[in-house]
Structure 1
Amino acid sequence: MEKIPILFLAAGRRVQMTQMFLERGFEVFSYESDLTSPICQVAFVIEATKPWSDSHFMDEILPVYKANNIQLVIPFQDEAVIAACKLDRYFKNRGLEPKIVCSPIAVAEICYDKLFFEQWMGDKFPTIYPSANILRPMIIKPRYGAGSRTIFHVENEFDLEKYKLLISSGKWIKQRKIKGIEYSVDCYFDPDGNYIDSVPRRRILIGSSGEVVKSITERNEWLQAISKEVGERLGLIGPVNMQYILEYNTGEIYLFEINARFGGGYTLSIHAGMDVINLIARDYLGRDFEYEPDTWRNNLLLQRAYKDYYFQRPG
């Protein structure tokens, strides 16, 4: 079978995900700013010399896209999702018909900008968003960005005074601090925004970068129903990761973040049976693939381990 060339944007360390695409008949190219990223040893890498904020990054991608007959473009970071939306317009303005697997830019911006997300949730789903209350402990985190490396805890008046400049800067958001069980729900929405399936995963151990190290699939119709309703209302497309907390004391569920892209632990959901890679191939490329929702394996545990990659530097 002839390999199908596709382009990743900022896949970085997504080696296992890349291997899953390779196993399903794809040839993977990736646009990367760091040429010592592990992805460089399993994919054809295009060096990114421009930041996402510089529109000239698209000029670097265009010749590679044309020369290799790229069939799909898939972003792997939040900024790359916004960039992919812009790339879609850029290609179409040049007479091309790109297939870019991501949500529309207005939807992507709501997910990327946590203040926009807070406002949207407050309007559409206020009972399941952890709005901050000055009388309760809260967390503050950057308005933009992923992971949990830069989160501050506000427990009392002293903390409130300590972080008041951050809180008032407009560059940080407040959320209620909740003690509970963290879940990620990996979802897939087709190109028309229809919910296809989802896999809830309990986050057992989180690494220093904020990505999951140990996780287990857990069948939970409640979380799946919420994810379907929120995702279709928002207009999400493609692979999506939603993050929840189930509060210990009350049993209430709160949705605190949506990543409009593959999440770091999404490989577990694919391995469990929600074969989103073949679903993407079916929906965007016409691959013959039959899929029965909600047949993935329950109680499948992911345990990650470190792997070393070596790069010979000049000199």
Structure 2
Amino acid sequence: MVEPFHIMISSAGRRVALMELFRRSLQALGRPGELLAIDMTPASSAYQRADRGFIVPRCTDPSFVPRVLEICEAERVRLVIPTIDPALPVYAAHREAFAAVGTTVLVSDPETIAIAGDKVATHAWLTAEGLPTVRQTTLAAALDELTAADFPVIAKPTRGSSAIGVEVVHTRAQLQGLADREGYIVQSMARGNEYTVSMLVRHDGSVPCAVPRRRLRVRAGEVSKGVAVRLEPVEALAMEVARRLPGARGTINVQIFHDPETGELNIIEINPRFGGGFPLAFEAGARYPQWIIEDLLGLPSTAADTWTDRLVMLRYDDAVFVPGEQIGFGVGQEEPRT
């Protein structure tokens, strides 16, 4: 009998598409296995679409890791997929504890998580490595140093994702209006088109391919329309980042601006997890979930740089419908556990 390959999506939330890609990958390999979800509430679409779901504390709670370890051991989970930034340093710090119960967590070493999780650390690392990036300074220094010719600039939190808190600042007066915000940095505007480059760093450190995805439209911080574009300079730069990051493993996304007129490249962010736009890379041919499972099972790898150029993704809304009792909204309960 073939042992089932159970996969857990952590902080499942709305990540139904990602869950289904792993389900399809198991089916493509002819492997039995369930997709499990963990979340703080059952009122999430991916939790309800999973084969089974488990309620866990917030990822920063001291009881989070013991609870997830308990589930992984009891359910014989082979692979955990973290999906949110706050969980990455937690999983990275306890990767060996999960390995001890037979579970692989798809997360990079703590050094890479620290570099990517703080924009000051990201900029310092890129600069030290001699990799192209924008100019960056603190909000206070920007107010002292920038002249009218330096605007517009980008102001953003040092930590955060999904473009939350990011502002395009056109004047000194507008920048002054942000002076009371803590933990903000200011970046020069990068010229050209922005690409999020998806990569998989395999267990042996190799990077089979890099898939630049250009955002055509963004909604609520996630791409709603995008296109996969073969662009050799962007692919090569992203792969160089992945190779240089200390202990990078699993999915790495690098955001790069490319100026088609001058060829100038600028790296602005690194995200060491699956992003919301990954389904585009998968459908183009970058079958990372399948390649990950192949590596863990010791199967011949089908990883290849053969993805389809100019594939366009047009996302749409969908919904999961469940009885109220299933999410704590039964008779006599005024509010669901959202």
In the alignment, the residues of structure 1 paired with residue 84 and residue 212 of structure 2 have an alpha-carbon distance, to the nearest angstrom, of 21
> In the alignment, what sits opposite 1:165?
180
Tell me by how many angstroms 1:185 deviates.
0.7
Tell me by how many angstroms 1:77 deviates.
1.1
Unaligned 5+ runs, structure 1 = none
Tell me by how many angstroms 1:126 deviates.
4.9
Counterparts of residues 105-254 of structure 1 (less than 5 Å): 105-131=110-136, 134-135=146-147, 136=150, 137-166=152-181, 169=182, 171-207=183-219, 209-235=220-246, 236-247=248-259, 250-254=262-266
**Residue of 44, 47, 50 corresponding to 2:55:** 47
Counterparts of residues 18-37 of structure 1 (less than 5 Å): 18-25=19-26, 26-37=33-44
> In the alignment, what sits opposite 2:18?
17
> In the alignment, what sits opposite 1:290?
302
Letter in structure 2 aligned against 1:294: D
In the alignment, the residues of structure 1 paired with residue 284 and residue 135 of structure 2 have an alpha-carbon distance, to the nearest angstrom, of 30
Is the Cα–Cα contact under 8 Å of residues 76 and 102 in structure 2 kept in the other structure? Answer: no
In the alignment, the residues of structure 1 paired with residue 261 and residue 169 of structure 2 have an alpha-carbon distance, to the nearest angstrom, of 20
Name the SS of the counterpart of 2:136 in structure 1.
coil
> In the alignment, what sits opposite 2:313?
302
Is the Cα–Cα contact under 8 Å of residues 111 and 258 in structure 1 kept in the other structure? Answer: yes
In the alignment, the residues of structure 1 paired with residue 68 and residue 215 of structure 2 have an alpha-carbon distance, to the nearest angstrom, of 36
TM-score (norm 1): 0.90
Is the Cα–Cα contact under 8 Å of residues 91 and 97 in structure 1 kept in the other structure? Answer: yes
In the alignment, the residues of structure 2 paired with residue 126 and residue 21 of structure 1 have an alpha-carbon distance, to the nearest angstrom, of 33
> In the alignment, what sits opposite 1:255?
267
Deviations 1:97-154 (A, max 9, x none): 4311111011111111112111111211353334357231211111111111311232
Letter in structure 2 aligned against 1:38: S
> In the alignment, what sits opposite 1:88?
95
TM-score (norm 2): 0.85
Unaligned 5+ runs, structure 2 = 27-32, 332-338
Name the SS of the counterpart of 2:13 in structure 1.
coil
> In the alignment, what sits opposite 1:314?
330
Name the SS of the counterpart of 2:185 in structure 1.
strand
> In the alignment, what sits opposite 1:60?
67
Report the RMSD for the aligned CA atoms in angstroms: 2.0
Is the Cα–Cα contact under 8 Å of residues 130 and 256 in structure 1 kept in the other structure? Answer: no
Deviations 1:218-243 (A, max 9, x none): 11111111011111111321111111
> In the alignment, what sits opposite 1:104?
109
In the alignment, the residues of structure 2 paired with residue 250 and residue 158 of structure 1 have an alpha-carbon distance, to the nearest angstrom, of 32
Is the Cα–Cα contact under 8 Å of residues 189 and 197 in structure 1 kept in the other structure? Answer: no
Is the Cα–Cα contact under 8 Å of residues 72 and 101 in structure 2 kept in the other structure? Answer: no
In the alignment, the residues of structure 2 paired with residue 18 and residue 240 of structure 1 have an alpha-carbon distance, to the nearest angstrom, of 18
Deviations 1:5-42 (A, max 9, x none): 01121131111111111122241112212321110222
Structure 1 window deviating more from structure 2 (181-190 vs 128-137): it is: 128-137
Structure 1 window deviating more from structure 2 (15-24 vs 147-156): it is: 147-156
Letter in structure 2 aligned against 1:256: I
Is the Cα–Cα contact under 8 Å of residues 122 and 129 in structure 1 kept in the other structure? Answer: no
Name the SS of the counterpart of 1:127 in structure 2.
coil
In the alignment, the residues of structure 1 paired with residue 278 and residue 211 of structure 2 have an alpha-carbon distance, to the nearest angstrom, of 9
Tell me by how many angstroms 1:308 deviates.
2.2
Tell me by how many angstroms 1:248 deviates.
6.7
In the alignment, the residues of structure 2 paired with residue 284 and residue 2 of structure 1 have an alpha-carbon distance, to the nearest angstrom, of 13
The reply on whether 1:69 has 2:76 as its aligned counterpart is yes
In the alignment, the residues of structure 1 paired with residue 289 and residue 168 of structure 2 have an alpha-carbon distance, to the nearest angstrom, of 38
Tell me by how many angstroms 1:80 deviates.
1.9
In the alignment, the residues of structure 2 paired with residue 290 and residue 129 of structure 1 have an alpha-carbon distance, to the nearest angstrom, of 37
Structure 1 window deviating more from structure 2 (9-18 vs 123-132): it is: 123-132
The count of corresponding residues between Structure 1 and Structure 2 is 307
C-alpha change, 1:67 and 1:96, in structure 2 (3 Å) is closer
Letter in structure 2 aligned against 1:290: T
C-alpha change, 1:91 and 1:99, in structure 2 (3 Å) is closer
> In the alignment, what sits opposite 1:266?
278
Letter in structure 2 aligned against 1:228: M
> In the alignment, what sits opposite 2:86?
79
C-alpha change, 1:187 and 1:222, in structure 2 (3 Å) is same
Name the SS of the counterpart of 1:215 in structure 2.
strand
Name the SS of the counterpart of 1:78 in structure 2.
coil
